[in-house]
Structures are given as C-alpha cells and as structure tokens.
Chain A
C-alpha cells in the first residue's frame, strides 16, 4: 500500500462518515426476513432492527461502534493490515481488492480503543459482509494484537463476533488463527483481564470454536445463529430436519452456553453496567 492509497482510503472513510453524520443517505434497504423496504436512515435510527418484524439486520462495524461507544472516542488500530494471500489462492486477491473498495476496510475485523460511558476499552468488531466475516491471517493477527494491547494497558476487551468461521482461502493458516486467538485470549484472562464476548448473527465454525467461546461473560443478540457446524452440514450428516430454533441464541441459552441474551436497544447500557462492575 502506497502513501497515496492510504490517503485515498482515509478520504473515502471520512466521506462516508460525514455522509452518515449529515444523514444524507436516501438509500433503501430490505429486511431479509419480511422483505419490508425502508430508507437506511430510518433503519439506522432504529439501530438496524426492522421496524416491521423486529429482525436484527447485520451492522457494519463502524455502525456498531457508533452504537456502543461514546461519540468520537473510537481510535482505530492496525487498520491497514492486508492479507498476503499465503496460498496464492485463485481470485482471492481480486476479491479482497473489490471488498476493500466497497467497504473501505482491508479485512473483516475493525479494532481499536474507545470509551463506553467514560470507561476505556479495547473493542473489536467482525464484519459479516466481508467474506462472511471469516477469520484469516489478518483477522487473527488483529485480534491477537488487540488482546495483547488490552493486556498491556489493563483494559477490558470486548469483541463483537459475526463470522462464518475460518477463511478457506488461506487454508491451514486460517486454522492456526484459532490457536493464536484462543491462546491470546486465554492468556489475557489468566492475567486478570475481563473479556466480554458478544455473539451476533451468525457466529459459527472456527470463530465460535476459538476466542468467541472463551469470554468471561458471553452475550448474544436475540435469534443469532451460533454453532460449530452449520444447520446445512448437520442436516446432510444426520439426514433429518432440525428442531425449530435449533442453534439460535435462545436455544444456546437454554443449553447453558450463554450468559445472557441482550437486545440491541440495551447493548450499550448492559456493556456499561458490566464494565463498571469490573473496574479496578
């Protein structure tokens, strides 16, 4: 990445943020569940929850950050890491470039420091729109660095997960990110750090089977799909239809895999409460 690119990227992000601030968008979006169309502004004002059926739409990381952080407090870290395409996987590089242009992000994870009601935290958000939020070398490295940073600075760590799992295009390197992130988070916790893992729709595969399941406290959004093997894989393996609500947040809560389900409306408030209780 040349200096020029960095400036272009910054400018692009600034512009998009300014647009968000000025409420200039007139774009519409459609609820994947009830197909109701609404302007993005209205949906955003309702925290990306469908006003018709209550479905939780996926959120871009910056939207999520805006929702939970104190205004203007977020400082991004390692925003320019890009994948080296270690396997030289066909078309992967092109895909990354296209997604970079579309989202302004170099990969599926945005991380940094921010304040939540005045409490400083290390915050990371996975982006399900970027190759299904899959964890490759960049996501793994950024999670590791964020966790180590939180450990050094004695900050609480919050990660919002939304991922299809490990990134196929980076092969075994992706699998190793599970080891890397799980080890980092485990070490952080052993040294007294607070890790709040927030699972959003969908959190599956290699992400749910590594750092995301290791939170001191694990929270989830209502109805989020959370699993190791996806419903389609299970259906193919056991050849029978799955029960209603299987692998959704409420199911996991019932089976003892989550601490609580938190509505988007109460997300910031809940995080603040937990952070305040754990302040040293």
Chain B
C-alpha cells in the first residue's frame, strides 16, 4: 500500500470496506497474547458483531473490544455486516465496567458501517444503548485507546471511540454517516457518494488537522509494528495518571471539540429576552 499514498476520499471509503483488510481477530492475534473472548450482555443475548475480551499486551492484561465484520457472505450474515444491536453495545459497557473495576486499560478497534437500523434493534432501545456506551466510555477511570481500522460510521462507531487517545489508520475513514446515506439525504441520490466524500471531510489527514483524532498509523508492512509501538507509548503515558485525572482529561478533551464556534460574548447574567 506504500505506493497508494494519493487515494481520493472515496477510494479510501472503498479501501476501508475491503473484505481483504485485516479484521478484528487478526489485530488481536498480531498484537496481543492469550486472548480470551467474553460473551454476552447478561440481559438478552450475545451480539457477535462486537468482540470483547481480555488479552495480554506485553504481559499486561488489557480489555479489548472491537467491531467484527465477516470475510465472506456467510460470515457477514453471522456478524450482521459489523452492524451492532443494543445487546452489543451493552456487552461493551459490561466489559468496560469490568475493566474499570480491575484497573485494566481498554483498547478498542472501530470498524462498522453504523449501528444496526432494524426493527428489533429499535424495539430493544438502540438509542439508549449507544448513549449509555458513549457516556460510560467518557468517564472510565482507566486508560482508553481507540483505533479506527476500517470505516467508522455514525453513533455506532462513536460508542467505542470516546477514548483518551483516538488513532486512525492512514487510509481509513471516520464519518457522521456513510457517504451513501449522506448523499441520499442531501441530494436524494445515493450514487453521488463519491462527491459527498469530498465535502464530508472524513479522511485521517483532515480529521487530524481538525484535532478530532490524535494520530495516524501508517498501513502496509509497518502497520502492526506501528500499532504495537503506539499502544505501548500511549498506555505508558496514560498509565501515569490517576483514574479520576484520566476521566477529567478525557472530559476536557471532548469538551474542546467545538468547531471554533464564535463566542461573541459569554453570558453576562443579564436578560437578553424574556417572555
């Protein structure tokens, strides 16, 4: 991939969706030892579109959570194309709570076309499950690192990405919704997705410039060594903070993502209008 440096945003979307790309299990195999998967949300069922469990990273136990996509149609049906239902988010929250209790860092891998838009998912409280996951992750008292390894789309991606340190692989995308969805809402034409990609600003480079992500990981041969190095450096750095300092810093970090809104004057405590 070293030669493909100049991909257009839409080509990056296609790269991010390529089934030949490494999946969550390959990342776990390459970066961690002794992974043990932990299943279920203790409420209803086990959502296989999210993998979670405990593994050793350089000898240190860490909680790993990530989206799972299939490599072929059969697997994709089994994992619901990486689209998570409320049960999956609730499983993630359960594992985060467990990690916090036992002081384990949380590492997440994000690769999802979005939360599942289905009948059952809605009936079981999709909104609530995502909101709880975002809120829980924002105040965890252990170090958290998130990596966008494919397509990070909508609230379903954010539910696993409210981390102390958020990284993206160089050719992947992170967006508010899929370019197809964006084009169909804006122009009532999903085929204009390539055009949508240009104005959506979804590539790692653009997001790094906005300060919405913390760093970019090169792809190709360097991918796994670079990830390993990054995790080690970040966990060492974050490990020096107390739990409450981590939560407070994380809160401040997301609090600042304000798109440079224009604050012409802070509230002066006086009436502006009254009814």
Contact = CB atoms under 8 A, between A and B. Distances in A.
A binds B: yes
Interface of A: 1, 6, 10, 13-14, 17, 62, 65-66, 69, 71-84, 86-87, 89-90, 136-138, 140-141, 144-145, 166, 168, 170-180, 182-187, 190, 205-206, 208-214, 226-229, 233-234, 237-238, 242-243, 246-247, 251, 255-257
Contacts of B176: 166, 168, 171-172, 174-175, 206
A140 B130 CA distance: 17
B201 interface: yes
Contacts of A80: 264-265
Given A176-B257, A180-B254, A234-B122, A171 B131 contact: no
A176 B262 CA distance: 17
A220 to B, nearest CB: 12
A101 to B, nearest CB: 17
B125 A257 contact: yes
B81 to A, nearest CB: 10
B182 interface: yes
Interface stretch (B46-54, B154-162, B216-224): B154-162
A155 to B, nearest CB: 14
A17 to B, nearest CB: 7
B60 interface: no
A210 B134 contact: yes
A213 B259 contact: no
A177 to B, nearest CB: 8
Contact of A65 (B119, B127, B201, B275): B275
Nearest to B130: A209
A75 B131 contact: no
Contacts of A79: 272-273
A77 B158 CA distance: 29
Of B115, B154, B177, B274, most A-chain CB atoms within 10 Å = B274
B149 interface: no
B113 to A, nearest CB: 11
A86 to B, nearest CB: 4
Contact of B127 (A13, A185, A209, A238): A209
Interface in B242-275: 250-251, 254-255, 257-267, 270-275
16 contacts: A17-B275, A74-B273, A82-B261, A87-B200, A141-B258, A168-B182, A171-B175, A179-B158, A179-B254, A182-B138, A183-B135, A186-B135, A206-B155, A206-B176, A229-B115, A237-B118
A231 to B, nearest CB: 9
B124 interface: yes
A229 B122 contact: yes
Given A178-B134, A209-B127, A77 B267 contact: yes
Cβ-closest 9 pairs across A and B: A229-B117, A137-B259, A183-B138, A86-B259, A213-B131, A186-B135, A208-B127, A176-B257, A209-B130
A197 B260 CA distance: 28
Nearest to A16: B273
Q: Which of A176, A179, A190, A212 has the most C-beta atoms of chain B within 10 angstroms of its own C-beta?
A: A179
A194 B137 CA distance: 21
Contact of B262 (A1, A180, A237): A1
B56 interface: no
A80 B272 CA distance: 10
B259 A136 contact: yes
